[in-house]
Amino acid sequence: MLKINDLKASIEDKEILKGINLEIKPGEVHAIMGPNGSGKSTLASVLAGREDYEVDGGDVDFDGEDLLEMAPEVRAQKGLFLAFQYPVEIPGVSNTNFLRTAVNEVRKARGEEPYNAANFMKEMKEKMQIVSIDKSLMGRSLNEGFSGGEKKRNEIFHMAMLDPKLAILDETDSGLDIDALRIVANGVNTLRDGNRSFVVVTHYQRLLDYIVPDFVHVLYKGKIVKSGTKELALELEEKGYDWIIQEVEGQN
């Protein structure tokens, strides 16, 4: 589904990703962990097509196509979804109108009929249940004045509506209390259907109790320095990142 090959990226001449290799197959859930500033959000942003970042090398294959050549909206239309670490507040654009535009653009690109108002509402209702998101958030401006938890839930709700092939969740757990965390994880697990793939970026192991990953990778200073299964996350929880950092620095 996604094949990242020696990906290097920088911002303002600062090298951040220093050769990432990662392959994600349909239905797999990969967790990416690592200390703050290691490049997790950068990786997510580069994959989603944020233009501030300069790609200095490598390539990314998404279902047989060159992902890095595509405009951000084309990536989304082809089934890539990014749940933002910091969802953007957009005053004056209603959550519902925005979603309808987005969903219909994506459907159009996939050769599907756009939803009419009635079908769209039906779809919304169904997907709102998945993340138990409050109806009152739908008529409001996108993320404006939403609490931290509401923003994250709204991201997962968008994901459910857009029905992506690959979803990247960037610290969707941060700032959530345990109940909200459970709800968000539940939403993800409901959408885990054996074909859809996930990249779960997280700083803490906590989320991975609820969304159980197939693989865990540790990103440090722009490189994946260790990969393993879910046991690696537990080990990190127990021992912190220091031992890995030492291991890496020791090699250098």
Partner 1 sequence: MSIVIENAALKNNALSYIEDTIEKVPALVQLRTEAAETFASSDFPSIQHEEWKYTNIKKLVSNTYSFSNDVNVTAADIQDYLIEGTDVMVFVNGVYNASLSSFTSTEKVIVAPLSEAIEKHQDLVLAHLGKYADNSLPFVGVNTASVVEGGFVYAKRNALSETPLMFLNVVSGDNIVVQPRVLAVLEEGAQASIIERNAVIKGEAVLVNSVAEVNVAERANLSHLKLQDEVENTSLVTLSEAQQADNSVYHNITITTGGHIVRNNLNIALGEHCEGLMTGLYLVKGKTLVDNHTMVDHKMPNSYSNELYKGILSDKSKGVFNGKIFVREDAQKTNAFQSNKNILLSQDAVVDTKPQLEIWADDVSCSHGCTVGALDEEPMFYLRARGIPEDKARGLLIYAFAGDVIEKISNENVRALVEKIVAREMGYDLI
Ligand X SMILES: Nc1ncnc2c1ncn2[C@@H]1O[C@H](COP(=O)(O)OP(=O)(O)O)[C@@H](O)[C@H]1O
CB of 81 to partner 1, least distance (A): 8
Q: Is 14 in the site for ligand X (CB under 6 A)?
A: yes
Phi, psi of 47 (to 5 degrees): -65, -35
Q: Is 233 in the site for ligand X (CB under 6 A)?
A: no
CA-to-CA dists, residue 89 to 66, 142, 148, angstroms: 31, 6, 11
Amino acid residing at 201: V
Please, which residue, 98 or 210, has the CB nearer to partner 1?
98
Hey, is 60 helix, strand or coil?
strand
User: Which of the residues 24 through 43 are near Mg ion (CB under 5 A)?
Assistant: 40-41
CB of 104 to partner 1, least distance (A): 8
Q: Is 202 in the site for Mg ion (CB under 5 A)?
A: no
Strand partners, 14: 11
Q: ∠ at Cα 183 (182, 185), nearest 5°?
A: 65
**Residue whose C-alpha is closest to residue 220's, from 56, 42, 45:** 42
Please, which residue, 41 or 77, has the CB nearer to ligand X?
41
**Residue whose C-alpha is closest to residue 25's, from 61, 77, 50, 68:** 61
Q: Is 86 in the site for ligand X (CB under 6 A)?
A: no
16 contact choice in partner 1, Mg ion, ligand X, none (CB below 5 to 8 Å, kind-dependent): ligand X
Provide the 10 A C-beta neighbour count for residue 26. Answer: 13
The token pair at 241 is 């990142």
The token pair at 191 is 């959408």
Q: Is 154 in the site for ligand X (CB under 6 A)?
A: no
List interacting residues with partner 1 (CB under 8 A): 48-52, 71-73, 75-77, 82, 84, 87-88, 90-93, 97-98, 100-103, 105-106, 109, 141, 158, 162
User: Which of the residues 49 through 78 are near ligand X (CB under 6 A)?
Assistant: 52
* Chain centre to alpha carbon of residue 99: 18
Q: Is 39 in the site for ligand X (CB under 6 A)?
A: yes
Please, which residue, 55 or 109, has the CB nearer to partner 1?
109
Strand partners, 142: 90
Phi, psi of 87 (to 5 degrees): -60, 140
CB of 39 to ligand X, least distance (A): 5
CB of 226 to ligand X, least distance (A): 15
Binding site for ligand X (CB under 6 A): 11-12, 14, 16, 34, 36-42, 52
Binding site for Mg ion (CB under 5 A): 40-41, 85
